[in-house]
Amino acid sequence: MKEQLEQVYRTAIDELGHITNSDALREWELKFIGRKGEITLMLRQTGQLPAEERADFGKRANDIKNELTQAFEERESLIRQQELAQSLEEGDIDVTLPGRPRRTGGLHPSTQTLRQIQEIWAEMGFQVYRSRDVEDDDTNFTLLNIPPHHPARDMWDTFYTTQDGVILRTHTSPGQIRAMQDYGEDGTKPIRVILPGMCYRYEQISARSEIQFYQVEGLAIGKSIRMTDLKGTIADFARRLYGPETQVRYRASYFPFTEPSMEVDVQCMLCDGEGCSVCKHTGWLEIMGCGMVHPTVLRNGGYDPTEWSGFAFGMGPERITMLKHDIQDIRYFWANDMRFLSQF
Ligand code: PHE
């Protein structure tokens, strides 16, 4: 048996020397030093030897097993290195390549501006009122002092539905009527809300106009609200949005639901009012429409215009974002092009 042990030992060393891949190595391990390997089995038979031979045999068999295990481990690390070098050579996997970074999502530029606008108005005491996207013709137009066939309807090209009188809102102004009816408690309570939301217009899509876009409407109703309150509030908003030095300018305008009506310009933030292509060399950029709520609109909201007054305004977050980043084409906003979106 002793001779047999030495024989197996020599065979094992010899075979190990010829092994060049990890599959064959695994087989060799099972054959000689695994749980049912030849050396292991012989070690187990130590007990069957005559008592005086057991100690010597056991010691020798253990030494052999340790030696083979060590030789196995050395061979294993050598083969691993060779296999790695070979796979690098063949180029199937380059393990030295850095991992692919996982892209994180971000907020849409319109959402970012929308949130910024909402935060500013919240600081100034305006609550968010969510009005509906699908409106009726009455609330979108007639109750806002734009009767059927009135030429002012041309200001808003409308998406109609197959349901008579059901349309997509062309602006957030119908939310003024809904807020007054909802919060006003029959014209007895003051109101201070902003109404953010998507608007829809049946327009030819171009660099300057889209068929859908956000607006943020504002409405304040009280007992002694005056034009100076409107001007001061808007100027305060503009300075919170664009910085404390921002210059604001009001131009007389026309909207059927406000009287008087104005458009608001801020000093161009790209050229500091010097004149550039974005402000068309005027130094000013238009950011919203506003005015004192028309008596007819107050009455339609349930308020007595001899006692109550108010102001309203409406602005476009996309336009504000375009001016801020000098974005030339409004179509980028809803084109879902990652090259555009990932810049924000
Ligand atoms: N609704 C108007 C528009 O879409 C903007 C506006 C809102 C003007 C409120 C005055 C007051 O053009």
43: confidence class by pLDDT, cuts 50, 70, 90: confident
Query: Per-residue pLDDT tens for 170-221?
Result: 999 999 999 999 999 999 999 999 999 999 999 999 888 899 999 999 999 9
Q: Give the number of other CB atoms < 10 A from CB of residue 124.
A: 15
- Residue bearing the CA closest to ligand 1, atom 6: 314
CB count within 10 Å of CB 140 equals 24
Phi and psi torsions of 184, nearest 5°: -75, -20
CATH of domain 109-341: 3.30.930.10
Q: CB–CB of 169/135 below 8 Å? A: yes
Residues framing ligand 1 (Cβ under 6 A) = 171, 173, 217, 255, 258, 289-291, 312-314
Ligand 1 centroid to residue 176 C-alpha, Å: 11
Please tell me the distance between residue 97's alpha carbon and the centre of ligand 1 in angstroms. Answer: 56
255 forms beta bridges with: 258
Distance 205 CA to ligand 1 centre (A): 21
Question: Is the pLDDT score of 278 beyond 90?
Answer: no
pTM higher than 0.75, yes or no? no
Q: Ligand 1, from 126, 227, 257, 286: best to mutate by most atoms within 8 Å of Cβ? A: 257
Nearest-CA residue for ligand 1 atom 4 is 171
**Secondary structure class of 62 (helix, strand, coil):** helix
Gap from CA of 329 to ligand 1 centroid (Å): 22
